[in-house]
Amino acid sequence: MRIGFASDHAGFVLKERLRAFAVGLGHDVVDFGTDGTASVDYPDFAHRAAVARQEWDRLVLVCGSGIGVSMAANRHAGIRCALVTSPEHAELARRHNDANAIALGQRLTDPLQAEYYLKIFLATPFEGGRHEGRVKKIETSSV
């Protein structure tokens, strides 16, 4: 599987750790930045990764809380990014919501837990069935 990664400065350390973890699991990775801890704007990197949808199968976004990058990514058609704060979130995001992206907060998530969440997210299939119609309703041009 090809995994995209992006972060701002506040998520850089965790992004790098998770990127190495994904490689260790045998995945290909693509990094959309940032490349250090100098202050940057999280939407720039979330948008860069989201518009490059054809380059990844799943996407991991990291900022200080995970909230900002998830909000920015979800502005893009075809992106279903879940803010993950527990193993259950990681599993249900995939199983019920067919999430193709997760957001994590470096300031709020233990690095070992983040690795566990990522492993669950990558291994869990979409259940389909009754959830398919609901997921299709997420994509809408107007409400």
Task: For residues 87 and 140, give the distance between their C-alpha atoms in angstroms, rounded to a whole number.
Answer: 29
Is-contact 8 47, C-beta < 8 A?
A: no
| Catalytic-labelled residue, pool 9, 47, 63, 81 | 63
**126 exposure class (CB count in 10 Å sphere: 0-12, 13-18, 19+):** middle
Is 63 catalytic? The answer is yes
Is-contact 104 87, C-beta < 8 A?
A: no
Is 76 catalytic? The answer is no
Task: For residues 87 and 114, give the distance between their C-alpha atoms in angstroms, rounded to a whole number.
Answer: 9
| Catalytic-labelled residue, pool 27, 76, 89, 96 | 96
CB atoms near residue 56 (< 10 Å): 22
Annotated catalytic residues are: 63, 96
